[in-house]
Every structure is written in structure tokens, then in C-alpha cells.
Amino acid sequence: MTNYARISLILLVTSCLSHAQEFRPLFNGKDLTGWKGAGYEVVDGTIVCTPKGSNLVTEERFSHYILDFEFKLPPGGNNGLGIHYPGTGDAAYVGLELQILDDTAEKYKGLKEYQFHGSIYTMVPAKKGHLKAVGEWNHERVTVLGDRVKVELNGTVITEANLTELEQKFPKHQGVKRRSGHISWCGHGDPVAFRNIQIADLAPTTHAEALKKQGFTPLFDGKTLEAWKVEAGSEGHWLPLNGVLKYDGKSTAKIKDLWSVKTYGDFTMVLDWRWNGLGPVMNRPVINAEGNETGETLKVEELDSGIYMRGNIHSQVNLWNWPVGSGEVYGFRTNKGLPAEVRAGVTPKEKADRPVGEWNHMEITMKGDRLTVVLNGKKVIGNAQLPGVKPTGPVGLQHHGSSIDFANIWIKEL
């Protein structure tokens, strides 16, 4: 890592961790709820790998976060922590594997530098000598922020990496290109034990002061839902944590969406969003530039949410994983009674979504009955007309049961 990258990592981590983070458990101490896989068992409040243990994988996907856990190694014990794991394949190559290993064992005397505990397997060696004695509990903290990864073992930083630099150094490694995925334990049949597994979800960094100077005000303060109407049955399902608004897809409310307390006319709204869970694989239509279905379909992971504008469920900027891409206004595109130019206008010019699980940045502007949507720096909808759209109304965070994260929601009235 260059000195510049190291300084950037320190500044980024310091910025994100300047106040206490709120952690949530990834393991309830009783069973493997929230995890998938076989060959692990729960013993006295710990997860223990059995002789048949291989990969134990979280159901959720993660991007920006701090992972905290404790582990105990038997003599010669070998396991691993997979991050950015897509869910199948060898985590060391399709994702990243951080070594969990009793590297003091005689049988490992010939280890390569990148095989010692805490190393990013095949790429980044860790500092040695900070494991506790075999049979004692170790504490490890892994911080993942964009392309930055940091590993702390028992209070000492043992690994730091810049994934963008590693991409250039190891161009054939698939996992180093990823910026999100599942977390997994990568077992080798040794009875390695884990406990107190918890995570702090973090929002992507934003330039709050610059937004304020431009006249934006926050619609989500990062801590509460004061600006939103929360229906009975949605409590605890729309959950603010460390600047992230997490929705688990399980609200029992009659109105499961969140609507702003305030109404808006003309506005520009900016927000970040990402898919944190899984969806079923389904066939979804290919849409042409005119907004018509071509008859061709593609298999995609069905994920569906959206941003309502001015209190109308039809004037919805879709967030989804369909071939057409996010930004489409489905209620207008599919209305065959509207002029062809209107339906074409609300069809995205390209699919600008980042890979599922990564954060996306969106800017939505409504002026009169005209809509512009910029997704990840690309204008996907440009000055499209929404005939008959209401002049004023609240904005809403919509979903169709998919679990999703929102962050950095700001709005400016025009």
C-alpha cells in the first residue's frame, strides 16, 4: 500500500468512526438463524465448525461495515473469514478470504507470507505474532469501507489493504473486484469456535456541508424516523442504524411504505440505496428504447423497491434489478393510453445500476410534470413528462417485500 493510500484509509476510517457505532448481532447465541450452510453447530453460545464444516454464510449481503467477533483455535486449527462472498464457490478466489489459523503449529512451518493469520489469502500478508495462546479467545475487528479493508487482532492492526491497488496487482483474481457480498466462515473441518459476532452497518460517505450550502435539508437524520410517517406494524422493520435506514421486508402494517410528513412540489432529492438481502430468480422482460417489451426475457434476481413522488403510487421511480434498470417509471411506461414519446421518456436510457449489494447513488428532480433521474453519475431519465402528475404531495420509500438499505437522503425545494 502506498503512503497516500495508507493516509487516505486512516482519514476515511477516522471520519466514519468519529462517533460510537451501534452494533447488531449476527449470531443470537442459540441457533444459526440468519446463516446458511452445513457442518457447523451451536455449543454453549458459540458456533463451532464440525469435521464436515465448510462454508457457513450470512443470508444478508454487506458492503460498508465493521465486523466484530471472537474466535478460539484448537492446536493447528484452520478456518477463514470470507468477505464480499457471492454465495457460491471458493471464497478465497470469488470473494476475499482472511485467514483464521493457528500459524504457530509445527505443520504450518512452511507457510507462505500470505497464509499467516489475518492475511488476505494469496495477496496481502498480515503482521505476525498477535494471536493469543491456542485455546484462548481472540478478538478480531474487520473494517470494510469501499475499497479499504483493515483487520485488527487483539487491539493491533495486522492488515491494511486497498482493493483498487490489489486489482491492478492481481488482475486475474475475481474476488478483489467485488465491493459487496455475504460474510462466511470458511471451515476445513477443525473445531474452530466463534462467538459475539456483531456488525455495524455504515452508510457511504457524503458531503453533508456541501449539500447544506446548496440548499438541501436532510430527510433522514441517520438516527430517527422523525421526518416520516411510520404505520403501526412497521416499527422495528424500518430501522435506523449508524446513518443507514434498513428495511427487512417484513412489516405487517397495512401501509408498509414510508411517506414523508412534509409535502413537496418541485424538488431535487438525492439518496443512496443498496440491496441487502436475496430475491428469487425469475424471468423478467427486456424493454426497448420505446418502452415496449421485446418478447425476450432474462433470468434475474427479483428485487423491487422505488421512490414515490408527490403522493402518487404511479409516479414512482423504480429501484429494481430488472433488465431495463432502475429509474424507470413503471406506472407510466406500461400505460398504453399515453403517447409513445411519454412512454419512451420514462424508460431508462441504460442500466446504470451497480452490482447487487453495492451502494447506488441517485438524484431525482421534479419540475412541474417533468422528471430527470441521474443514477451513479449517468442520466437515465431526462426531462421526461409525467402527464397528470399531482402538483404537490409527499415523497415515499416503497418496496415489494425486498430488504433494502437507504442512506444520505436529502431534498431541496425548487
Per-residue pLDDT tens over the stretch 178-227: 999 999 999 999 999 999 999 999 999 888 999 999 999 999 999 999 99
Class of domain 208-413: mainly beta
Question: Does the pLDDT value for residue 18 go beyond 60?
Answer: no
Q: Residue 56 corresponds to which cell in the numbers above?
A: 457457513
Alpha carbon distance 60, 34 (integer Å)? 8
Question: Does the pLDDT value for residue 17 go beyond 80?
Answer: no
Q: Judge whether 198 and 47 are in contact, CB under 8 Å.
A: no
Q: In this structure, which topology does domain 3-201 adopt according to CATH?
A: Jelly Rolls (2.60.120)
Model confidence, pTM: 0.92
Mean of all residue pLDDT scores within the chain: 93
For residue 19, which amino acid is it? H
pLDDT at 2: 39
Q: Judge whether 186 and 92 are in contact, CB under 8 Å.
A: yes
Q: Residue 352 corresponds to which cell in the numbers above?
A: 446504470
Task: Map out the domains of the chain as residue ranges.
Answer: 3-201, 208-413
With vertex at residue 171, the alpha carbon angle to CA 165 and CA 173, rounded to the nearest 5 degrees, is 100
pLDDT tens column, 121-166: 999 999 999 999 999 999 999 999 999 999 999 999 999 999 999 9
For residue 359, which amino acid is it? W
The 3 state secondary structure assigned to the chain is: CCHHHHHHHHHHHHHHCCCCCCCEECCCCCCCCCEEECCEEEECCEEEECCCCCEEEECCCECCEEEEEEEECCCCCEEEEEEEECCCCCHHHHCEEEEEECCCCHHHCCCCHHHCCCCECCCECCCCCCCCCCCCEEEEEEEEECCEEEEEECCEEEEEEEHHHHHHHCCCCCHHHCCCEEEEEECCCCCCEEEEEEEEECCCCCCHHHHHHCCCEECCCCCCCCCEECCCCCECCEEEECCEEEECCCCCCCCCCEEECCCECCEEEEEEEEECCCCCEEEEEEECCCCCEEEEEEEEECCEEEEEECCEEEEEEEEECCCCCCCCCHHHHCCCCCCHHHHHHCCCCCCCCCCCCCCEEEEEEEECCEEEEEECCEEEEEEEECCCCCCCECCEEEECCCCEEEEEEEEEEC
The number of residues in the chain equals 414
Question: Does the pLDDT value for residue 58 go beyond 70?
Answer: yes
Same topology for domains 3-201 and 208-413, yes or no?
A: yes
Question: Does the pLDDT value for residue 299 go beyond 90?
Answer: yes
pLDDT at 237: 93
pLDDT tens column, 87-110: 999 999 999 999 999 999 999 999
Which pLDDT band holds residue 19 (cuts at 50, 70, 90)? Answer: low
pLDDT at 264: 98
